[in-house]
Amino acid sequence: MIDTKSFLLAGMTLAALSAHADTYAPAEERPGRTVLVPMSVERPPGESWALVRRTDVDLVFLRPAEKNRSSLVAIASGKVPDRRARSTQELAANIREELKAKADDTRFEVLSEEVRPDPAADRKCVRYRQSARDRGAKGSDGQPQLIALHGLACLHPTDEGIVLSITLSERGPPESANPALADDAERFFSSLRPHRPVAGNGWRAPAEQGDANAQVMLARHLFQSNELEEAIVWLGRAADKGHLDAHALLGLSYLTGRAVTRSPEEALRWLRPAADKGYPKAEGLLALALISAPQVRNDEEGRRWARKAAADGDPLGQALLGELLLFGKSGMEKNEAEGSAWVRKAAEQGDAKAQYLLASMLAKGFGLAQDPAQSRFWLELAAAQGHADARKIVEQAKRPASPAPAKTPSENK
């Protein structure tokens, strides 16, 4: 149910969660907000967060420890629990059992814990928090690290068989504890918005009824199941209604040649209207097309759109702008400091190419101070997302070193 695992346990605070989910989950994802099947959520407050895991039903963000600052983990998930709860009292009982199961007495010493139903009458939610001492993780002073975790769990307002959970936890030495952690958790929790838990081919009925968001979600499902021609049809219907994400996805299809004949010119026809309306994903793809496709290449315009997309929060635009600045490409004046900053922003948003580039920069001390530990962190994130070169390096590092061949008698002389 509550997917905390090694991050351990949680706490209270939330702004109002609507008692009624939106008609259908929005297909459009803007920078900072990520849509899961049953809900959407904002990135946690503050800087240096990295998206380390994403599936259709859960997200994990990590802010690594730095100097005197503890590490933070934020998790959002919408899942069917092993044991169904029909009331806040049953949900609270399930959470208590879950917390107890996670707090292995041989490793964790629970210092305080509170689990209580949310008093709001229009929803079935439970707030919970826990602090614990981790005997298995000690700091440089030899003392166990402390874990403080705040969380909220709610029965989905339109399907109480689904539990929406969101947690924020901190790990580190006592002296680096964040006194504003509860406030940060409340801001993170307040971003939770439930949506109807429709998935896969379930989008077909509302799509056929003309819901543009459902048409885009159905198209995404069809892409995943390799039903490409039908996916393009549904994207076209949504785009005809002015759906910006449909425009961006059609532009991407024509830019890459997936499901359609590759045509950068046609890609621009779909991307420009959405970019002109300020849709960041379209801005980033338009910049990429103008800089990388010879048929439509326009470096000056491409640089302009790359800056616009990066400023608007699009990770592709941030990664592209960072690369142009780092290496002085496409007529961009070289600026390693600014370039590395944009690459890091893209990496933190989960762009695998940016994560791999950032790992290389940290390994070599290019544009940034050399930091092997941080380099490894970003390399493993890129590999986990399927970046081929990153995965190859990580897999090679896991293999045992081959023993040196024995020297022949002549070599020993």
Q: Are residues 139 and 41 in the same domain?
A: yes
For 38-96, write each residue's pLDDT tens digit: 999 999 988 889 999 998 899 999 998 887 789 999 999 999 998 999 999 999 999 99
The answer to whether position 358 is within a domain reads yes
**Structure confidence at residue 23 as a pLDDT band (50, 70, 90):** low
> Are the CB atoms for 275 and 267 separated by under 8 Å?
no
Locate 115 and state its tokens. 């689990």
162 and 39 within one domain: yes
What's the mean pLDDT when you consider all of the chain? 88
CATH number at residue 59: 3.40.1000.10
Tokens found for residue 116: 């209580």
36 and 182 in a single domain? The answer is yes
Higher-pLDDT residue of 189, 139: 189
Task: Find out whether 259 and 223 touch, Cβ atoms under 8 Å.
Answer: yes
DSSP string, 188-242: HHTT-EEB----GGGGHHHHHTT-HHHHHHHHHHHHHTT-HHHHHHHHHHHHHTT
Spatial distance between the Cα atoms of 284 and 302, rounded to a whole number of angstroms? 9
pLDDT score at 106: 80
Average pLDDT in the 230-237 region? 98
Residue 19 clears pLDDT 50, i.e. is over it: no
User: How high is the pLDDT of residue 405?
Assistant: 53
Strand order in the sheet with 108-117: 50-54, 58-63, 71-79, 163-172, 144-155, 125-138, 108-117
Same-domain pairing of 252 and 377: yes
- Read off the pLDDT of residues 157-188 as tens digits, 9 standing for 90 and up: 989 999 999 999 999 988 888 889 999 999 99
pTM, 2 dp: 0.83
Q: Which residues pair with 74 in a beta bridge?
A: 61, 168
Looking at the structure of the chain, the number of domains it has is 2
Q: Which domain holds residue 63?
A: 5-194
Tell me the pLDDT band of 21, cut-offs 50, 70 and 90: low
Same domain, 291 and 372: yes
Residues 12 and 158 in one domain: yes
Model pLDDT, residue 413: 41
When comparing pLDDT for 372 and 140, which is higher? 372
The encoded tokens of residue 110 equal: 């629970």
Q: Which residue pairs, CB below 8 angstroms and at least 24 apart, start in 133-138?
A: 133/108, 133/109, 134/8, 134/107, 134/108, 134/171, 135/106, 135/107, 135/108, 135/109, 136/107, 137/171
Q: Model confidence over 375-413: pLDDT tens digits? A: 999 999 999 989 999 999 999 888 776 555 555 444 444
In this structure, the answer to whether residues 65 and 167 fall within a common structural domain is yes
Domain-located, residue 214:
no
- Confidence at residue 409, expressed as pLDDT on a 0 to 100 scale: 44
Residue 22 banded pLDDT, cuts 50, 70, 90: low
Asked whether residue 343 is assigned to any structural domain, the reply reads yes
pLDDT of residue 372: 93
Tell me what pLDDT residue 15 has. 36
pLDDT band at 215 (very low <50, low <70, confident <90, very high): very high
Structural domain contains residue 236? no
What token pair was written down for 312? 């608007």
Residue among 51, 131, 150, 3 nearest 385 (CA): 51
CA R_g for the chain:
24
Same domain flag for 150 and 67: yes
- Is residue 204 one of the residues assigned to a domain? no
Among residues of the chain, what percentage have pLDDT more than 90?
Answer: 70
At residue 17, does pLDDT exceed 90?
no
The confidence band for 118, taking pLDDT boundaries of 50, 70 and 90, is: confident
Question: What is the CATH number for 264?
Answer: 1.25.40.10
Same domain assignment for residues 188 and 263: no
Say if residue 210's pLDDT is above 60: yes
Residues 280 and 161 in one domain: no
Confidence at residue 69, expressed as pLDDT on a 0 to 100 scale: 83
Instruction: Report the C-alpha gap between 158 and 408 in whole angstroms.
Output: 75
What is the C-alpha to C-alpha distance for residues 140 and 146, in angstroms, rounded to an integer?
13
% of the chain with per-residue pLDDT over 70? 90
Query: Do residues 286 and 183 both lie within one domain?
Result: no
Residue 31: pLDDT over 90: no
pLDDT tens sequence across 245-299: 999 999 999 999 999 999 999 999 999 999 999 999 999 999 999 999 999 999 9
Contact 9, 151 (CB under 8 A): yes
Residues 135 and 33 in one domain: yes
Quick one: DSSP state of residue 296?
G
The answer to whether residue 393 is domain-embedded is: no
